[in-house]
Structure 1
């Protein structure tokens, strides 16, 4: 299994905490810093990326292991696991184009540095208190009552979170 590179950083949290919103807000900030960023989002649901009657879906249903759909604007590769186990995160990262940073949403049990997006108002327990969780910081609303030894970042300030990630990973910011 290939080793996960230090440029991988996780964003984790309970459902509805704002993980996707935070990543979406940080992406243009990282781009403005001159960084190339990939994102891997883990899903527990079956992925339907094309309507069932489209040619690409028909190829998969007929037994193709991978189907690429290409256009002048983007391309996508759909790889069928066909009962094989889900590949580990390191293998997924290796499939991506080279980047300065790969943000990972989910994959809570992989051995990577991660930040928890935490909203006490959701009424759920934090994840960063679990042993060996890999959390290096917590992003929470500024008015949230939260007792943690980890660095605490303001959730409504994606620039501060992005800067923390860059500093933590010692990323070469070019802008």
Structure 2
């Protein structure tokens, strides 16, 4: 039951991010990097249900590096936060592999689709890095949750961030 609620929440958050970008486009506004990052992260989580393709790490790595460059140039923590999130998604996609006979695999239940993750993948399935990213995502979800408790009334962007960060923390926990 938890997995179905998490999946539905991720799909709803992704649709919300897409709708926010459509409104920006309709009003001829420049889209905010937060909305783009949330949409990409949501699409990535949905894609993990459909395919096991480590090469899908590439767009997240490129986007994460671009956000990190912008964060350094603009001295903006929001860019840095979303760069870490994009690179965490790249890590997850890169850690995916198809089941190989005789290889030590862990079946991580990512919502409905099991994702086979090698327990000893050199350089990528480093447990310390996965724990650090899981803790980061859990903290990001906590900060987004506190934004919902503040006045003025919560912003939709904080709710989307809460859902996506909590889902990422859950996915990392399932990898470990």
Is TM (by shorter chain) over 0.5? no
Give the number of the structure whose residues are more often helix, by fraction.
2
Q: Scaled by the length of structure 1, what TM-score is found?
A: 0.29
For the pair shown, the structure with the greater C-alpha radius of gyration is 1
Of Structure 1 and Structure 2, the greater strand share is in 1
